[in-house]
Structure 1
Amino acid sequence: MKTRNEMIRRTVLFAVAMVFVFGAGVFTVQAQDDPMVFAIVDFMKVNAGDEGKYVEIEQDVWKPIHQERINQGEIIGWILYRIHYTGADDEYNFATVAVFDDPSKLEHTFSVDMEKVHPGKDMDQLFDETMNSRQLVRQNLIRRVGAVYPEGGPGDFKYIQVNSMKVKPGHGGAYVDNEMNVWKPVHQELVNAGTRSGWSLWQSVYPFGESLPYDYITVDYFADYSKLGAADVYGAFEKAHPGEDINMLMQETTEARSHVRAELWEVIDSIWKQ
């Protein structure tokens, strides 16, 4: 059992170490306006009919483990998402997100004694049940560049819209400037109006490269399903940028990036540092 745990731990630590060896420059490609926050996103494929079993394993086996990670200061939060409107041919239909508040903590992303969290349990059996319940199809490391939240942090949210953005060649700086100077104030107005629970901009750290479908993602937070599509974006634009040419600002956006995909994710469960 300890041999298996040690192999898993070393595999994770080696992967993260490669981020620091080869990707140190990626962390500072663009300036950010808030403390460094990183997230590791695991994309899961769960077979039809196995969704209930998978969620049960995440909540009963892994949620207590992630709570211990929070207790030990490794992470500040963990979220389990279901991706809506997916079918048999989609790459993934669930995702988990572990949130870190310090890049140095990425060096040791998983040091919890799982046997301590689940005393008397057969950990080999729990691992087998986990592996049989889903397929981990890929993993991304992302960092937050900027955010708009209500006072005190993200508001209560049940859904997020994840927008994948591909920056056009030579427009990396222009794209981030556009998001932060044009769109961030608009999202602040939407939060003020109560139609959004927050907004954030994230840069893909790993993997990265021209062959990938996106470089950045933006996340729109919603308190409930009724808030989807309820925002008065045009009115928010006028409040955020009075007297400015909205069409010109929109043109700057489209010249800097392509909006390649939008997905609706539902929060199934979560835990956060108090």
Structure 2
Amino acid sequence: MKNAQKFILLAALLFGNLSLLAQTPEPMFFIVETMKSTPNKSAEYEKNEREIWKKLHQERIKRGLIVSWNLYAVRYPSGSNVAYDYVTVTVIQGLKKVENPWGTMFTDAEKLLTKEEYTKAMAIGDLRNLTTSTVYYGNDFIMADPKATTPSKYQMINMMKIKNDKWDDAMNMETKIVKPMHVEMMKKGGKAAWGLYTQMLPSGENQASDYVTSDFYNTWEDMDKEGDFKKALAKVHPGMSAVAYDKKISDARRLANRELWELIDFAK
């Protein structure tokens, strides 16, 4: 059932049948790429991304190839044995642009950069290894302040695995049970935004997670300002106990992994 749901979603995107998705305008996709920095080269890698590659990402935005680009350092987990310590997130509107999110940028890069910059840009492989590249579909997103223009400093990444093929149950739980709680609790401060993202590619039963939710925070201290859960629950879901709320969540999915990312730079 889970794979069937993904097939329907992908088919709707590929063949333009937006009535299947009720998505207007075109949906957002997120290319998430994880990087492992070369030992003792993390500072040099960050500088390369921020001072050189960011120029190319800004040009991609100018040309309408992408919507935005963010660079994150993985705060937790950390250590020499982690699989990656940096993450880039590239936001693209519309599936067609996912096929070639660079356009002719690699051909044009020599014209956009100085000779020294171009040489350093092409040598970024000496500073880090690109370990994974994953495409996510943006299911849902809410912000405490819809007018905010600067990305949040921190993201708590919650990687979820659906239980017993309960795809519909998991999506309904996230959007109809959990999301309204986030909306209510955001009114008291703390969380700046919340997002729900389905993993599109790669996919299959052997994937470590099926979807991700992300909790956004503007400051470190905001992570400890979640508000009164019991009051929010009584207001949003009258008559539902905390035990029943937790059961609806745990019956549909399990938390496979959690990471904390810190924003280093961005282009939009």
| TM-score (normalised: structure 1) | 0.84
The one-letter code sitting in structure 1 at the alignment partner of 2:122 is: F
The one-letter code sitting in structure 2 at the alignment partner of 1:247 is: V
1:195: how far off? 1.0
1:92 maps to: 84
Distance 2:112 2:194 in 1: 34
Distance 1:155 1:58 in 2: 19
1:157 maps to: 152
1:74 maps to: 65
1:243 maps to: 239
1:198 maps to: 193
The counterpart of 2:177, out of the listed 172, 182, 195, is 182
1:102 maps to: 94
The one-letter code sitting in structure 2 at the alignment partner of 1:146 is: D
SS state at 1:95 partner: strand
Mapped contact 2:233–2:240 kept (Cα < 8 A): no
- Asked whether 1:262 is paired with 2:253, we answer no
1:156: how far off? 4.7
Runs of 4+ residues over 6 Å off in structure 1: none
Identity within the alignment, %:
27
1:94: how far off? 0.3
Mapped contact 1:156–1:197 kept (Cα < 8 A): no
2:223 maps to: 228
Distance 2:24 2:194 in 1: 13
Structure 2 segments unaligned to the other structure (5+ residues) = 1-6
SS state at 1:170 partner: coil
The one-letter code sitting in structure 1 at the alignment partner of 2:35 is: M
The counterpart of 2:167, out of the listed 150, 172, 176, is 172
Structure 1 segments unaligned to the other structure (5+ residues) = 1-20
1:107: how far off? 2.5
The one-letter code sitting in structure 1 at the alignment partner of 2:258 is: A
RMSD (CA atoms): 2.4
Distance 1:220 1:34 in 2: 24
2:44 maps to: 53
Distance 1:148 1:126 in 2: 35
| TM-score (normalised: structure 2) | 0.86
Mapped contact 2:53–2:121 kept (Cα < 8 A): no
Distance 1:33 1:192 in 2: 27
Distance 1:88 1:32 in 2: 45
1:140 maps to: 134
Distance 2:49 2:150 in 1: 24
The one-letter code sitting in structure 2 at the alignment partner of 1:132 is: D
Distance 1:251 1:268 in 2: 37
